[in-house]
Amino acid sequence: MHAVIYRFDVIPGREKDFEKTWQLATETFIAHAGGLGSRLHKNEAGSYIAYAQWPDKISWESARQKLPKSAIKNLQRMNMYCEEITILFNMEVKNDLLM
């Protein structure tokens, strides 16, 4: 299994728009690209942190190619709500005890 941790620095006032498009994007990755889901958090500094799981690194790397055009537009919209998007960690899962 593969996991990716992102930080999203969202433009003030666009938080609800971001949360909605993040959910749509995650659901689309699950439905069309083999994503295993994601969790969205908000830290004390106001940044959003997302943890996403994939079957393997290749699935994650090729995911965008499997999305319908409408999903690409949604991702572009989500990007517009952010000042910056950073991949904090891109890693192999060694042991999974989440319930």
Domains, the chain, with CATH or none: 2-92 (3.30.70.100)
Q: Is the pLDDT of residue 82 over 90?
A: yes
Tokens standing for 18? 């971001």
Q: What is the pLDDT of residue 32?
A: 97
pLDDT score for 37: 97
Rounded alpha-carbon distances, angstroms, from residue 58 to 23, 33, 35, 52, 76 = 22, 11, 11, 14, 22
Is residue 98 scored above 90 in pLDDT?
Answer: no
Question: Has residue 55 got a pLDDT over 90?
Answer: yes
How much is the pTM? Answer: 0.92
Residue labelled with tokens 């069309």:
32
What is the arithmetic mean of pLDDT over 50-71?
A: 96
Identify the pLDDT of residue 44: 96
Please give the average per-residue pLDDT across 49-71, as a whole number.
Answer: 96
Residue 30: both structure tokens together: 């699950």
Look at residue 99 in the predicted model and tell me its pLDDT. 81
On the question of pLDDT at 26 being above 90, the answer is: yes
- Our CA angle for 9, 49, 67, nearest 5°, is 90
Among 18, 55, 51, 2, which Cα is nearest to 33's?
Answer: 55
CB atoms within 10 A of CB 19: 17
